[in-house]
Each structure stands twice: as C-alpha cells, then as structure tokens.
Amino acid sequence: MAPRKTLTHLRPDGTAHMVDVSTKDASARVAVADGYVRMGKQAFAQMSSGQAKKGDVLGAARLAGIMGAKRTWELIPLCHPIPITAVEVDLIPDPTLPGVRISASVKTVGQTGVEMEALTAVTCASLCVYDMLKAVDRGMVIGDVCVRLKDGGRSGRYQRASTTKLPGRRHGG
C-alpha cells in the first residue's frame, strides 16, 4: 500500500481533529512494540536479583505498562478510547546491554489500531524501571522504542524488517 500523502488528524485548514472511524468495520487488530532500558552493572544487579530498594522493578514495570496501554487515550491527544481485549508486557533482563528489553503486545476488536497503546505500554514500563532504579543510576538510557508488528484493519500487516540494525537491539524479529 502506498504511503498516505495527507495527515489524517489535520483538516484542510491545518487544525487538528479526531479522525471519524465510525464508518470503518470492526476487525481484530494487534500491535507489538519493543524498547529497552540500558543501565549500569549495579542497577542491573539490583533489578535482576530483586534487591532494589523500591521493590520488584520488573513486576511494577509490567503493571505500569499494562496501565499505560489502558489509558493511552487519556495521554495522547486525538487517540480514541478503544476496548482493549489483551495486553502482554514482557521484561527480559539482558546482561549484554546491561539492562532490560521490553516488549508489549496489545489486541482489540475495533475500528482503529492499537499501535499507540503498544508504544505507550513500552514507554510506561521503561519509565517505571527508570523511576525505581534512578537512586542507583541516573544515567540510564531508554532506547529504540518502536512498533515491531501491526496487523488488522484496512492497511493490513506491517512488520519491521528483521534486517534493521539498531544499537542495543536483538536482530531477527
């Protein structure tokens, strides 16, 4: 499908508006987003061992990601409130960063996609990791937050090319 030449959230006069999706058919939709938080070895050790002073970093970040996905429409202007049917947030400690890789999958049956919800889940989970470990490492880096997969709706399937080489990212998927 050819890229759009106009931005759907702008009227011809340049003012913003919420796109009317009422004429679109409801369909099953899914989006997967990824990112990471890179940190120093001390913060990584505390996160991985469950010894962080603020508690279970990965558990709290998973909940923050899920909550973020559910509230995306309140955070991002012009996003539709949609009936989310599933949210999965995975946090995988990776000593090669060192840090944590975060992936979020969001599903719905509706008239608009869930890419923003997946991106918000990854971002909120990342921010929670930072918040819980900032006393140990204020130099943490949140990076490479992107949509890996989107499927459903009129525009069909999008999958990020596995050959894309991004710093700090596993390749092949």
Domains of the chain: 27-158 (3.30.70.640)
Q: Give me the count of residues in the chain.
A: 173
Residue 144 among the catalytic residues: no
Residue the block writes with tokens 């539709």: 80
**Model pLDDT, residue 15:** 75
Active-site position among 13, 25, 56, 131 = 131
Q: pLDDT tens per residue, the chain (173 residues)?
A: 445 566 677 777 777 777 778 788 889 999 999 999 999 999 999 999 988 899 899 999 999 999 999 999 999 988 999 999 999 999 999 999 999 999 999 999 998 999 999 999 999 999 999 999 999 999 999 999 999 999 998 888 999 987 444 444 443 33
pLDDT at 42: 97
Cα–Cα dist 6/132, whole Å: 41
Residue 7 pLDDT:
64
Amino acid at 58: L
Paired with 44 in beta bridges are none
SS (H, E, C) the chain: CCCCCCCCCECCCCCECCCCCCCCCCEEEEEEEEEEEECCHHHHHHHHHCCCCCCCHHHHHHHHHHHHHHCHHHHCCCCCCCCEEEEEEEEEEECCCCEEEEEEEEEEEECCCCHHHHHHHHHHHHHHHHHHHCCCCCCCEEEEEEEEEEECCCCCCEECCCCCCCCCCCCCC
